[in-house]
Chains A and B, each alone.
Chain A
Amino acid sequence: MRGETVETAIEGKQRKIRFLNPEIGLINTGDPIPLHISAYGPRSQALTAKFGAGWKSFVSDVPGAMNAIESMQQSWLAARRVQSNLYATAWTRGCVLAEGEPVDSPRAMAQAGPRATVLLHRAADFDMEGWQNTSPPPQAVAAEVAGYVEMARRYEPPDARYPTNHRGHFVFVKPEERKFVSAELIRRTTFTATGQALKQRVEALREAGWRQLAIAITPGEEPAIEDWARIKRAFE
């Protein structure tokens, strides 16, 4: 787009590359493509600020979302950028509950459960690889996490347990892991609440500076988009 030649590593060597004939219209290098970086730690947030890119982060609850954006805003300001220009996208998954519907109802389990299991899969990854988990699970769900990790130690084959661990990751709840997806785990890791409560959460995010809420829709649960559209309409 800029007509620049850049260097990139291909087959182990640095190569100079550029689009050779963008002017003939086979590709579009004229319209801008905004950059958004998923950044959780200080280094990646500093990189986001350095580029002036959009920022994406998963959020589980309002206090966590507040802490996250405050951290990003500090990096943004440290890069001498205008705070209001930070385009922050909060990613989440959840379920818009009917009045009186349990947080672990079958519908909530299907829609929000795949987000809740991320905590389990990640803990098992760290366990099977011997990595240090710098973000240990909250004590309130420690039993669920420990139970899943113990089960995952028996995944086959022993030298490659990761495929089974990640089967269904973020798309469905595996039958054998269902017993570890408690109401508390869903409550702590997803946006699962009544419409009124969710609107309050979204309003808190908006006031904190988040510019977009991105709701991950579970395969097979596509009608949930209609529920989230009702939440959206409250902010139009």
Chain B
Amino acid sequence: MDFGIGIATGSDSWKLAQRAEELGFTHAWFFDTQMITGDRFVAMAAAALKTSRIRLGTGVLIPSNRIAAVTANAFATLNGMAPGRIDFGIGTGFTARRAMGLGVVKARGDGGIHPRRLRSLEGRDRRDRDRG
């Protein structure tokens, strides 16, 4: 069983990611609640440079609050800093949206981002491998 940690994203989040790596945790997931925590791509970049084994993921990214093309670029840049150690977690983001006074979105989103669209820009998936 894998063990990960969730990090309330901040400017020194890399320290917790680094300690998690030392302790053998497999994943560090960074929150994406822009009115409450820091910017996750900045924090993940710092963690990418300060770690070498632990996987770094968005836990979760809120697509309605971000532009798809720019988000894909951020992932591809992180993937250059920590090759093969990046995970893309995505959700509808009740809290991140409510903190801005926004309502609930459905899974297919009204914010212009659909998981398939981002992934097509960013990378291979497990679709074929997992097909029964």
Contacts and interface: CB of A to CB of B under 8 A. Distances in A.
Interface residues of B, number: 74
Contact of A34 (B2, B83, B88): B88
Interface string A212-236: 1111111100100110110111011
Given A37-B90, A91-B6, A212-B2, A29 B33 contact: no
Contacts of A93: 6
Residue with the highest number of chain B CB atoms closer than 10 Å, among A27, A31, A214: A214
A225 B23 contact: yes
A129 interface: yes
B123 A29 contact: yes
Contacts of B16: 217, 222, 225
A51 B127 CA distance: 6
A35 B71 CA distance: 14
A36 B88 contact: yes
Contacts of B35: 163, 166
A59 B70 CA distance: 32
The DSSP consensus for interface residues of chain B is mixed
Contacts of B73: 19, 27
Contacts of A18: 121
B24 A232 contact: yes
A162 B98 contact: yes
Interface string A118-158: 10011001000101000000000000000000000000000
A32 B107 contact: no
A32 B86 CA distance: 8
Interface residues of A, number: 82
Interface string B11-41: 0000110011001111101010101110000
B92 A38 contact: yes
14 contacts: A28-B83, A33-B88, A38-B89, A39-B91, A51-B115, A51-B119, A51-B125, A85-B129, A206-B1, A214-B6, A215-B4, A222-B19, A228-B3, A235-B3
Interface of A: 1-2, 4, 6-10, 17-19, 22, 25-39, 41, 43-44, 47, 51-54, 56, 80-82, 85, 89, 91, 93, 118, 121-122, 125, 129, 131, 160, 162-163, 165-171, 202, 205-206, 210-219, 222, 225-226, 228-229, 231-233, 235-236
